[in-house]
Amino acid sequence: MLFKEPALRLKDKMIEFRRDFHSHPEVSFCEERTNAVIRKFLEDNGIEIQEVDAGYSVVGLIRGGHPGKTFALRADIDALPMPELNDVPYKSTVENVMHACGHDAHTAALMGVALMINEVKDQMHGNVKLLFQAAEEKIPGGAKTLVEKGALENPYVDVVMGMHVSNQLPVGKVAFGAGPGAAASDTYKFKIIGKGGHGASPHTTIDPIAIAAYFITSLQSIVSRNVEPVQGSVITVGAIHGGTKENIIADEVEMLATVRSLDEEVRALLHRRIQEVCKGTELTYGCNVEWEVEMGYPVLINDGDFIKKYAVPSCEKVVGAENIIEIKKSGMGGEDFAYYLQQRPGCFGSLGSGNAEKGLTVGGHNSMFDLDEDAIWRGAACLAQAAWDYLEENK
Going from the N-terminus, what domains does the chain have, and what CATH number goes with each?
4-182+299-393 (3.40.630.10), 184-294 (3.30.70.360)
pLDDT digits (tens, 9 = 90+) for 361-370: 999 999 999 9
CA distances (Å), origin 100, targets 85, 128, 137, 262, 368: 10, 28, 11, 25, 8
Query: What's the CA gap between 281 and 289, in Å, rounded?
Result: 7
Of 136, 252, 336, 389, catalytic: 136
User: Angle CA(149)–CA(150)–CA(156) in degrees, nearest 5?
Assistant: 175
Q: Is-catalytic flag, 78?
A: yes
Of 31, 76, 78, 372, catalytic: 78
pLDDT digits (tens, 9 = 90+) for 135-176: 999 999 999 999 999 999 999 999 999 999 999 999 999 999
| Contact status, residue 12 vs residue 375, Cβ threshold 8 Å | no
Q: Do strands 233-241 and 252-261 pair parallel, antiparallel, or not at all (unpaired)?
A: antiparallel
pLDDT digits (tens, 9 = 90+) for 46-87: 999 999 999 999 999 999 999 999 999 999 999 999 999 999
Query: What's the CA gap between 201 and 190, in Å, rounded?
Result: 26
pLDDT digits (tens, 9 = 90+) for 14-31: 999 999 999 999 999 999
Asked whether the whole model's pTM tops 0.85, one would answer yes
